[in-house]
């Protein structure tokens, strides 16, 4: 019995241990801030007087055999020139980011490229990017929570007024990189914090809503706090518009229920927006349609997020130029699609932003496909141990009955023999 239980346990551990990263070997992260920057703004960076922060993270395979090594994955995270923008690029191995900083300042095309060891330009094989190009408060006087672009009264938070601090590295290693971008000064008595995490392996984020992300994706956490001075009535909700760039064409979104086991027991909806699955240029954007009205991120303080359909952008130059790094890579890239989506926070009957003055929202975007969530090792062990005990009880009970019956039969036979002996 013990032997059978150990076999079951080993099988489960083996099935869980083989993550998606082991297919191409372990990956290693290297992190750079404003790499190779030679302009004056970068020289004053350490004195916190610079107004640009570009974080470059390179994820490369640790496998020495080039035939077995996976591709290089490049992450570029930037708040330069107002709108936050982040993008991921896949290239062949032994490649790296190259920035022409003088051209980047002027938002010129091709100011961001990828080169091999011989300094030859490499054409990326896949990419996806996210630009948060608009943040606004809108009037929901009829309390329906139904946002209609250009019809609801809006008060935008002007990105031109935003001055960002230099990036803060919260954690940096060869396995995980966690950074934060935050406003240097409050705008309308409000502030924004952006926390982004890149990992060398498949992970589930520790905070609610516990999103799953891979070594080819970025976990993004947005915090919007304050902005009371923008209110012109008490029925104001927060909204944002994001632009998604992808090599693959958008496909139908996928909604599925996920079980968050010991992290937060219960079923939750997960939305996934796939791009390019049909033609091999797969990428995705994914989130749970939930936000939080306090820093504690308690389930009791959950509010709904509501999203519009993706709409393709035909004229996108003005939008892409809201971030210098985004423009430097995507501006002249005619092989990339661009889409926009509105996301608003709060449903009918839920608190307005003007009451809580705080909203937190998380999403993941990345290359390839996002795996379906599976039960954790802890839950699987509980199930196996519970099943093993149940099986043990099922086996022991009939055996015990048989032994008891046999014992009673022996006693009866012994008593009968004793009675017969007493007669004679």
Closest CA to 38 of 23, 52, 19, 24: 52
Secondary element (H or E) of residue 384: helix 377-423
Inter-residue contact 395 to 5 (CB < 8 Å): no
Average pLDDT, the chain: 83
Entry pTM: 0.84
Inter-residue contact 182 to 165 (CB < 8 Å): yes
What are the angstrom distances between the C-alpha of 50 and each of 34, 38, 55, 163, 170? 11, 13, 14, 10, 20
> Residue 185: which domain range?
26-374
| Two structure tokens written together for 408 | 């009673």
- Kindly state whether residue 8 falls inside one of the protein's structural domains: no
| Two structure tokens written together for 351 | 């608190």
- Kindly state whether residue 239 falls inside one of the protein's structural domains: yes
* pLDDT tens per residue, range 220-278: 999 999 987 777 678 899 999 999 999 999 999 999 887 665 566 667 899 999 999 87
Residue 358: what pLDDT? 94
Kindly indicate the confidence band of residue 367, based on its pLDDT and cuts at 50, 70 and 90: very high
Cα separation, 114 vs 120, in Å, equals 8
Cα separation, 256 vs 267, in Å, equals 10
Least confident stretch, 1-15, 35-49, 309-323, 343-357: 1-15
ω into residue 209 within 30 of 0, thus cis?
Answer: yes
Secondary element (H or E) of residue 245: strand 236-246
Kindly indicate the confidence band of residue 186, based on its pLDDT and cuts at 50, 70 and 90: confident
Predicted confidence (pLDDT) at residue 419 exceeds the cutoff of 60: no
Predicted confidence (pLDDT) at residue 117 exceeds the cutoff of 50: yes
- Kindly state whether residue 290 falls inside one of the protein's structural domains: yes
Kindly indicate the confidence band of residue 389, based on its pLDDT and cuts at 50, 70 and 90: low
| Percentage of residues in the chain having pLDDT higher than 90 | 51
Average pLDDT for 306-327? 92
In residues, how long is the chain?
424
Cα separation, 25 vs 20, in Å, equals 9
How many other C-beta atoms lie within 10 A of the C-beta of residue 397?
10
Cα separation, 320 vs 340, in Å, equals 12
Q: What's the domain count of the chain?
A: 1
In this structure, is the dihedral angle defined by the CA atoms of residues 381, 374, 362 and 327, taken in order, positive or negative? positive
- Kindly state whether residue 392 falls inside one of the protein's structural domains: no
Question: Concatenated DSSP letters for 393-422?
Answer: HHHHHHHHHHHHHHHHHHHHHHHHHHHHHH
Residue 158: what pLDDT? 76
Cα separation, 149 vs 393, in Å, equals 62
Residue 16: what pLDDT? 45
- Kindly state whether residue 390 falls inside one of the protein's structural domains: no
- Kindly state whether residue 391 falls inside one of the protein's structural domains: no
**In terms of pLDDT, which residue wins out, 411 or 180?**
180
Residue ranges with strand state E in 19-71: 27-33, 54-61
CA atoms within 13 A on the CB side of 287: 20
- Kindly state whether residue 13 falls inside one of the protein's structural domains: no
Cα separation, 297 vs 292, in Å, equals 6
Cα separation, 346 vs 303, in Å, equals 5
Closest CA to 60 of 32, 84, 90, 82: 90
CA atoms within 13 A on the CB side of 160: 2
- Kindly state whether residue 3 falls inside one of the protein's structural domains: no
Burial of 376 (0-12, 13-18, 19+ CB in 10 A): middle
**In terms of pLDDT, which residue wins out, 150 or 56?**
56
Predicted confidence (pLDDT) at residue 217 exceeds the cutoff of 60: yes
**In terms of pLDDT, which residue wins out, 281 or 385?**
281
């Amino acid at each position: 019995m013990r032997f059978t239980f150990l076999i079951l346990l080993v099988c489960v551990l083996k099935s869980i241990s083989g993550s998606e990263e082991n297919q191409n070997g372990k990956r290693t992260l290297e992190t750079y801030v404003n790499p190779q920057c030679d302009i004056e703004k970068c020289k004053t960076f350490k004195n916190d007087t610079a107004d640009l922060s570009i974080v470059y993270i390179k994820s490369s395979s640790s496998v020495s055999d080039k035939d077995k090594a996976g591709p290089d994955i490049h992450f570029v995270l930037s708040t330069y020139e107002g709108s936050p923008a982040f993008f991921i690029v896949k290239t062949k191995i032994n490649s790296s980011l190259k920035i022409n900083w003088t051209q980047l300042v002027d938002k010129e095309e091709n100011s961001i490229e990828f080169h091999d060891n011989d300094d030859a330009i490499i054409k990326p094989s896949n990419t996806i990017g996210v630009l948060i190009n608009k943040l606004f408060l809108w009037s929901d006087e009829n309390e329906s929570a139904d946002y209609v672009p250009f019809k609801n009264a809006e008060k935008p938070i002007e990105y031109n007024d935003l001055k960002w601090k230099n990036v803060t590295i919260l954690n940096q290693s060869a396995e995980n990189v966690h950074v934060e971008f935050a406003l240097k000064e409050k705008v309308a008595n409000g502030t924004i914090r952006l926390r982004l995490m890149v990992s060398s392996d498949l992970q589930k984020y520790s905070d609610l809503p516990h999103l799953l992300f891979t070594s080819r994706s970025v976990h993004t956490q947005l915090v919007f706090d304050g902005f009371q001075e923008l209110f012109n009535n008490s029925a104001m909700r927060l909204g944002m518009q994001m632009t998604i760039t992808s090599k693959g064409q958008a496909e139908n979104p996928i909604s599925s229920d996920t079980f968050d086991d010991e992290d937060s027991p219960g079923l939750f909806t997960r939305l996934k927006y796939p791009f390019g699955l049909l033609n091999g240029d797969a990428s995705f954007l994914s989130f749970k349609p939930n936000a939080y009205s306090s820093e504690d991120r308690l389930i009791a303080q959950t509010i709904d997020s509501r999203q519009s359909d993706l709409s393709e952008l035909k004229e996108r130059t003005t939008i892409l130029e809201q971030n210098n790094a985004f423009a430097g890579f995507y501006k002249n890239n005619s092989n990339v699609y661009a889409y926009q989506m509105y996301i608003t926070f709060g449903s009918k009957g839920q608190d307005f932003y003007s009451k809580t003055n705080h909203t937190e929202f998380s999403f993941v975007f990345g290359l390839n496909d996002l795996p379906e969530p599976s039960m954790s090792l802890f839950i699987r062990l509980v199930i196996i141990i519970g099943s093993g005990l149940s099986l043990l009880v099922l086996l022991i009970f009939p055996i015990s009955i048989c032994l008891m019956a046999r014992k009673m039969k022996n006693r009866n036979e012994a008593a009968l023999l004793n009675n017969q002996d007493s007669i004679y």
